[in-house]
Amino acid sequence: MTASRALPAFPLAALRAATGVPSRARRVVGAWGVWLAACALAAPAGFAQAQEGPQMNLRRVELTAGMHRIDAQVALTPQERQKGLMYRKEMPAHEGMLFVFEQPSQQCFWMKNTLLPLTAAFIADDGTIVNLEDMKPQTLDSHCSAKPVRYVLEMNQGWFAKKGIKAGAKLGGTPFARQ
């Protein structure tokens, strides 16, 4: 689940000042790059959390799945992605966590220290759900994308099934805007 990450250089000076991103950051163009840069600039000042507690104050993005709205926390840095939804005891039905990686690759997740049963949607750049994986709490079982993806959305287990959302469905929102 952990991957190295380079933030886009948009605007690079502001990103460095706000997040301490090194000069080797890659330039990312298009709507995704603008969105990613805005997320980095909007990071809460004290977003470093104690290792044992849940991360509750990440930046957010609104996504849609048909007529359904999703309020997703955004796990953008390697540390945020590694911690994910660990230690959360509950999560509202319309909320989730969107994991953003710098480039598409096979993504694999596990549930170490994660107390909630979740479903992971592995999502292509255009918002198409590649595959869905139900994950049991506090296990080390690996749940992987069927092909390389840049995004993974974790929701409470059963959320996608209750809404009739399956692989092949498209999600909407800023991260999936056409370039």
Q: Kindly list the distances between the CA atom of residue 110 and the CA atoms of 50, 73, 115, 123, 127, in Å, as whole numbers in the listed order.
A: 20, 18, 12, 17, 22
The answer as to CATH 3.40.1190.20 being correct for domain 51-176 is no
Separation between Cα atoms, residue 81 and residue 73, nearest integer Å? 11
What residue spans define the domains of the chain?
51-176
pLDDT tens for 51-71 read: 578 999 999 999 999 999 999
Does the pTM surpass 0.85? The reply is: no
Task: Scan for tokens 């911690």, then name that residue.
Answer: 83
Lowest mean pLDDT, pick from 22-31, 77-86, 156-165? 22-31
pLDDT value for 178: 67
Six-digit token string for 155: 């929701």
CA neighbor of 110 nearest in space, from 128, 89, 86, 131:
86
